[in-house]
Structure 1
Amino acid sequence: MDGVAEVGRRIGQAWAAFGANSHVLRSKKIAQHLKTKVFNQCVLPVFVNGMETTTLTEKSAERLRVAQRAMERQMLGVSLQDHKTNEWIREKTRISDVVEEIESRKWRWAGHIARMNQDRWARKTLE
């Protein structure tokens, strides 16, 4: 599967995970720090799962960030018409950036592969 299709699939699955937890994430009665924990533990892993080996272009990175910001806006109960900056949204939600998390996992995966024995299939496939 190519990177563009994989990013679209990841975004769709992340929205499904967001919807499954929407009773918490969209609630006005639950504190934001608890919503952040739920998002970072239930939705963010769906975004980044398996993306270690996918090529991430600027366009696909922006698609991931746009989807994440849309989810953050829903968590805060603000719309695009409220004209809140991305920095303001991120300051309020304190959620980890999806692209930074993917890049971190890519480096972790690269280190794991580099330490592998030369005979392992993952190392042979990569080389």
Structure 2
Amino acid sequence: MKIAIVGFGVSGAALLMSLKTSGKLDTDLHVDIFDPNHEPAVGLAYGKDSNHLLLNAFPTAMSLNPDNPLEFSEWLEKNYPEFNATVDLVPRTVFGEYASERLSPLLEKENVTHIKNNMIASQSKP
């Protein structure tokens, strides 16, 4: 079976993580991801634009791992101990770093292809 993920922001990344944690990514499934960005799950919201822009949720409420809702908090404690995951709103770029680190290994799987193409822009041309 083939699946296409159009856009690899947080929603597309969460879908890929869900396929991994459910075991479906380890079957004969093939996933094509269409996104022009080179970093997974970063997009506009979590890009490296500014450390002054903060998440609008606490780290304890954010995780890309459906089996571990505190994964981002645990990653934050290990990599950025200056932040308190229960009370601090952290820079969006930090979540982008976590997302990229967590998802990059999935893009190396044989049955996952990242096609660096903007599907929306491609379809809007006459």
TM-score, normalising length: structure 1: 0.28
Please identify which structure carries the higher helix content: 1
Q: Which has the larger radius of gyration?
A: 1
Please identify which structure carries the higher strand content: 2
TM-score, normalising length: structure 2: 0.28
